[in-house]
A and B are shown apart, each in its own frame.
Chain A
């Protein structure tokens, strides 16, 4: 079946460090890909999306490129802030439902 594999956490970085959270997927068709973020005590918020190969999603300094050849959608940010501390979920959608990865907890220390 369809699945998403995410980098195991937790990840701890210093402020202004470069961030990469790896995400790869397995799907029977051509899914849309999403990154959602969950801040403490809150629900899942859409961070960015890409709907076809080579699309780049971006938001709030975060980027991810849909790589069909490597079935990947890695999340990157050039300089993280303390406020980026959260749990990040990679997800795919082929039809009505979202299939999520396990989530990666990110902590940024000042």
Chain B
């Protein structure tokens, strides 16, 4: 069964450094998402992306965050200047382009654990 793959599985970064989290969505999917889960808290929506544009973003997704689809397969999340509170598990997800958006399940990767020191 096709999978969403994320790399690395664990990233340790010094505060203030830039970090890029990488995702390879399922190949025929056209909608892409990032979520995060701070330890012990809810999974929170960050951003959705379609047709090379952000379609929706949350309040968390401020100017320090950016997303990009640099080629036909990768989808990246960049944090420009990391803060301690950015430490979390980051999940990438994708879904097909068919039907009503809210009805279509999103398929998730295994996540990248980001630790800011």
Name A residues whose Cβ lies closer than 8 Å to a Cβ of B: 31-32, 34, 36, 41-46, 49, 51, 89, 91, 93-103
Which of A34, A96, A99 has the largest count of B CB atoms less than 10 A from its CB?
A96
Give Cα distance in the complex from A104 to B107, angstroms. 20
Checking A46, A89, A94 against B102 with a beta-carbon cut-off of 8 angstroms, the contacting residue is A94
User: Which residue of B has the minimal Cβ distance to A91?
Assistant: B43
B105 touches A49 (CB 8 A): yes
Q: How many of B's residues come within 8 Å of A, CB to CB?
A: 27
Sample (26) of A-B pairs whose CB atoms are under 8 Å apart: A32-B102, A42-B110, A43-B6, A43-B91, A43-B108, A43-B109, A44-B93, A45-B108, A46-B105, A46-B107, A51-B100, A51-B102, A89-B43, A93-B101, A93-B102, A94-B102, A95-B102, A96-B33, A96-B48, A97-B48, A98-B35, A98-B43, A98-B93, A99-B45, A100-B44, A103-B43
Given A32-B103, A51-B103, A97 and B45 contact (CB-CB distance below 8 Å): yes
B45 touches A98 (CB 8 A): yes
Chain A residues closer than 8 Å to B42, beta-carbon distance = 100-103
Confirm or deny: B55 has a beta carbon within 8 angstroms of a beta carbon on chain A.
yes
B91 touches A96 (CB 8 A): no
